[in-house]
Amino acid sequence: MAHATAQGPELLHGFKRLTRFDKGLGAQLPEAYKKFWREWKLTTPAAVHYVPKTETFERDDVTGEVRPVQNIPLPLIDTPESHEGIWGGEAVIKGFQKRHPQKRRVPHFWIPTLRRSVVHSQVLNEYMSVVVTDRTIDQIHDCHGFDHYLLKNLACDLRSTLALKLKRKVLQQLWNGCPNWSNNPTERERILKEYKCYLDSYTAEEIEWYGHTYQEAIRKLQAQIRAENRIIPHKLEFRSKLIEQLKNAGIREASGSHIGEKTAGKGSDNDNADIERLTKLEAPSSSTSSWLSKINPFGKKQET
């Protein structure tokens, strides 16, 4: 029996399903982004489309049966339009609707009421026209401002990528000392005093990686890897080696700085000019002349 062996529990529960952070480039993502991902995708959001029950058990009014309470959230659909606005945690609900007692139920989509409104960010010192819902407006009023709404709510409650990007931008401005208010030091100090308390939960690296989708985080990681491991063309490497060999051979013109200052992006015209310049170099000794004649493809062949 598997349960009678020492490795039984390990065989039953030891197989861990690989996630996107266990293989490939996802495994190289920093812990700062993984923390944001857990806040965005793995944290249970606040109930929006249903009223959660606080009791542990409930009794059926008809049968009198006592059963445990299960607060199961409704499955929500995040459309591309929802990420272009700020819906306050609302989304599209797919279900069935019985429109007549004697007819079959039909599929139905419940869509929140959308309206375009203008919100103001004191930290960014900007007015923005975005698509919002009535719940978004109510939450902004309850939080006493748009910035407080972004900074108080978790990523799972903000839900849309637009709200997450705005929150990252607000946190970056607060971390840098609100440079948008450099012309008004008094207002700048007031804003920093009011919103600086939100920076206690983040580090500079966590703010940098906050609000990115998984694809954006992968592209950001790839850009960092390319910047750290720059590829040097062989053209530059071989040219530097040739110039070093010419300097060691004692050729006077090789010590000039204009030969080694060429870059790979200037094309083949500069390469031809370098070759022509090398062909005109005067050899200081016979050994140098014979050595140069071997590597110069344009030199005259010695007659035997």
Question: pLDDT tens, 38-69?
Answer: 999 999 999 998 888 888 999 988 898 999 99
Instruction: Residue 82: give the domain boundaries.
Output: 19-46+73-226
Q: Which of 226, 252, 276 is the last residue of a domain?
A: 226
Compute the average pLDDT of residues 155-170: 95
Mean pLDDT of the chain: 84
b (16+ CB within 10 A) / e for 157-177: bbbbbbbbbbbbbbbebbeee
State residue 230 phi and psi, 5-degree precision.
-70, 140
Least confident range from 39-43, 155-159, 182-186, 273-277: namely 273-277
Long-range CB contacts (within 8 A, 24+) of 167-174: 167/210, 167/211, 168/207, 168/210, 168/211, 168/212, 169/124, 170/121, 170/123, 170/124, 170/195, 171/198, 171/199, 171/202, 171/207, 171/210, 172/207, 172/208, 173/123, 173/124, 174/123, 174/198, 174/199
Q: For residues 86 and 153, state if they share a domain.
A: yes
String of DSSP letters for 247-282: HHTT-SGGGSHHHHT--GGG-HHHHHHHHHHHHTPP
Q: What does the radius of gyration of the chain's CA atoms come to, in whole angstroms?
A: 34
Q: For residues 189 and 260, state if they share a domain.
A: no
Q: How many domains does the chain have?
A: 2
pLDDT of residue 281: 46
pLDDT at 259 over 50: no
Q: For residues 258 and 139, state if they share a domain.
A: no
Four-residue CA torsion sign, 109, 110, 114, 119: negative
CB 119 within 8 A of CB 146: yes
Q: For residues 219 and 260, state if they share a domain.
A: no
Q: Interior CA angle at 186 toward 182 and 190, to 5°?
A: 100
- 56 within a domain of the structure (yes/no): no
- 204 within a domain of the structure (yes/no): yes
Compute the average pLDDT of residues 77-88: 94
Q: For residues 291 and 185, state if they share a domain.
A: no
Q: How confident is the model at residue 231 (pLDDT cuts 50, 70, 90)?
A: confident
Q: Which of residues 145 and 266 earns the better pLDDT score? A: 145
Tokens for 56, please give them. 């542990």
Q: For residues 178 and 259, state if they share a domain.
A: no
Q: For residues 170 and 243, state if they share a domain.
A: no
99-157 per-position pLDDT tens digit: 999 999 999 999 999 999 999 999 999 999 999 999 999 999 999 999 999 999 999 99
